[in-house]
Amino acid sequence: MAPNWTRCFRLRRLLGVGVRAEVVRALLTIRAPRLSGAVITASAGFAQRNVREGLTQLCEAGVVEVAQVSHERYYAVRSPDWAALLAFESAPALPFHYDWIPAYRALTRALRWLQQPGLDDRSPYLQASRARTLVAEIEDDLRYVGVSPGAYAAQGAAYWEEFVEILRATIRHAAGPG
């Protein structure tokens, strides 16, 4: 069986890049019978209005079903139909959900920080101090993907090595499961 990420890329090749692609990815990979618009919006990484428009278009196309419960709408897809379309053996062969947005957001911030001019000209102590500040700024995203920056307690310039390990752990998590 192909690794999870290659199956996710097959979805991307079919659906392209955009709100509807992310909506379908969420609906197919989050293992729940129905999802609220809020859950889909959080996973898709688009504005709520854009997700709502994408969901409406997909419902009108007949590929997404909607059910109203109280004042909330819940959405679902027929996973066996999508598995057949994507040439997977069965619906359980569809990729599992991985919320990649926080991992890539943290890594993007770190990459931009590492590319700043003059970083190499600073003392090791100042580099480590600034790295600690960056980690504090992206801590919520790191924790979301399972990296606990609070577990690292080195002081002074020694923190730089822990900073490198935090980034390595985040990269491992960004690769997702499987």
17 and 65 in a single domain? The answer is yes
Residues 6+ apart with CB under 8 A from 112: none
Domain that holds residue 81: 4-93
* Domain end position, chosen among 93, 125, 152: 93
**Model-level pTM?**
0.61
Q: How many domains does the chain have?
A: 2
CATH number, domain at 76?
A: 1.10.10.10
Strands of 35-36's sheet in order across: 35-36, 72-76, 65-69
The pLDDT tens digits of the residues spanning 98-109 come to 677 788 889 999
26 and 89 in a single domain? The answer is yes
82 and 144 in a single domain? The answer is no
How far is Cα 140 from Cα 129, in angstroms, rounded to an integer?
A: 19
109 and 41 in a single domain? The answer is no
87 and 131 in a single domain? The answer is no
The pLDDT tens digits of the residues spanning 122-147 come to 999 999 999 999 999 999 989 888 89
Amino acid at 119: L
- CA 164, 103, 173, 143 dihedral sign is positive
